[in-house]
Chain A
């Protein structure tokens, strides 16, 4: 019990003292996962919009496919990206394996189904009248799309936060395609796994606290904006 207390106190010390190695790991995590969200969000949310608003062949199949991919294990995504990027793989020439770029690719693949599925639900929550009203008021399709986005912004924000929360905390894919290289591809979850296996609990707990704080911060932000939104209705 005392060792857990000591490790927790050490963790607070590491965080508050600005330990450069710890904060570098946190920085890499945010950079990689932030880039993955920025890359995947436009395409995924647009896909969710089309699935919600337009009828086309295989639409239902696509919805089922993206819902199924929600349960795709991170380690399998890591394996697939590893095989694609390895020297013998079809994308081996890109020389991306064990780089942050590889981690971004794997994390993008992981969060696309979440963004599509939750984005689709958010767009579906706004009925057809939103699109029709925007169009009949003379908005061109792109402008009408942004009118709809504004109407479902809380749902889309929830999708973005859920996607970010999933990829910043996943360990399997990042470990396989990033290689957990110090100062380069070591992020929060891979560092926690490594430090715990070495018996260095303080750093693991400190990084775990960062993830917990992040989850709390994202939820609190969403609650704040939703609260403001509902008050204005």
Chain B
């Protein structure tokens, strides 16, 4: 399948312990679009993002990928390939910042090109001085930036970021926003879940609110 430009999820439902969490939600992610998803704690934002990236199986969902209708089973491998989910507290693999980025980069490129890409991205997130540091010892904000860099190197066209600025100070937030701006300009679709949508007002194309198990567009 060619690189999708748009993923449309419809009739997306999920229950947790027999209680409905998300009910018949429809949502679209499109390349170059920046979407902000708000909702209270426990409203199901994280679960929704994990379903949209193929990590959690929904109770029901139909997916339209490049206008091709796919069942969840068939769509899952495409979602794993083309989307990326970033945890609110991202996991840092053992080893250096550089190693964390090598785990994400496409191995089809030559080692020299891989190195060049990693160096470029490290500069963009202003972590080039820390590339040999152990990723686990970095601050929460620095780890978020490593995770953003790792996500961008992965080549996924659709990024789903769970509270990406939650652990950051003002300076780190600005750097992260600048980096997201570049990704958006490069055609990447970004969907961010957050409690503070005003943080992203300079980037935001759409604002969605997950409330009472359904999505409202603002």
Q: A136-B85, A137-B84 in contact; A233/B55 too (CB < 8 A)?
A: no
Q: A136-B53, A147-B93 in contact; A233/B134 too (CB < 8 A)?
A: yes
A136, B94: Cβ atoms closer than 8 Å:
no
A133, B87: Cβ atoms closer than 8 Å:
yes
Majority secondary structure, B binding face: loop
Task: List the A side residues contacting B137 at CB < 8 Å.
Answer: 233
Task: List the B side residues contacting A135 at CB < 8 Å.
Answer: 54-55, 80
Q: A130-B91, A232-B134 in contact; A136/B103 too (CB < 8 A)?
A: no
Q: CB < 8 Å: which of A127, A137, A150, A232 contacts B104? A: A137
- Inter-chain CA distance A133–B160, complex, in Å, is 12
Q: A232-B134, A233-B136 in contact; A138/B94 too (CB < 8 A)?
A: no
A-B interface contact total, Cβ < 8 Å: 53
Interface size class, chain A:
10 to 19
Q: Which of B78-135 contact A (CB under 8 A)?
A: 80-81, 83-87, 89-91, 93-95, 103-104, 134
Q: How far is the CB of B97 from chain A (nearest CB, A)?
A: 12
Name which residue of chain A comes closest to B87, CB basis: A129
Interface residue total, chain B, C-beta cutoff 8 A: 25
Interface presence of B150 (CB below 8 A) = yes
Interface presence of B26 (CB below 8 A) = no
B156, A151: Cβ atoms closer than 8 Å:
no
Q: How far is the CB of B130 from chain A (nearest CB, A)?
A: 14
- Inter-chain CA distance A44–B84, complex, in Å, is 31
Q: How far is the CB of A52 from chain B (nearest CB, A)?
A: 16
Interface string of A113-134 (1 = CB under 8 A from B): 0000000000000010110111
Interface presence of B154 (CB below 8 A) = yes
Interface string of A136-153 (1 = CB under 8 A from B): 111000000001001100
- Inter-chain CA distance A134–B94, complex, in Å, is 13
Interface presence of A89 (CB below 8 A) = no
Q: CB < 8 Å: which of B81, B87, B104, B154 contacts A132? A: B87
Task: List the B side residues contacting A73 at CB < 8 Å.
Answer: none
Task: List the A side residues contacting B91 at CB < 8 Å.
Answer: 127, 129-130, 132-133
Q: Which of B137-158 contact A (CB under 8 A)?
A: 137, 150, 154, 156
Interface presence of A229 (CB below 8 A) = yes
Q: How far is the CB of A149 from chain B (nearest CB, A)?
A: 12
Q: A133-B87, A138-B154 in contact; A151/B55 too (CB < 8 A)?
A: no
A136, B80: Cβ atoms closer than 8 Å:
yes
Task: List the A side residues contacting B55 at CB < 8 Å.
Answer: 132, 135-136
Name which residue of chain A comes closest to B83, CB basis: A136
Supplied contacts A135-B54, A136-B55, A137-B150, 7 more A-B pairs, CB within 8 Å:
A130-B93, A133-B87, A134-B103, A136-B53, A136-B80, A137-B154, A138-B84
What are 29 A-B interface contacts by the 8 Å CB criterion? A132-B50, A132-B55, A132-B85, A132-B87, A132-B91, A133-B87, A133-B90, A135-B54, A135-B55, A135-B80, A136-B53, A136-B80, A136-B84, A136-B85, A136-B86, A137-B154, A138-B80, A138-B81, A138-B84, A138-B104, A138-B154, A138-B156, A150-B93, A150-B94, A151-B94, A232-B134, A233-B94, A233-B134, A233-B137
Closest 4 CB pairs of A and B: A129-B91, A133-B91, A136-B85, A233-B136
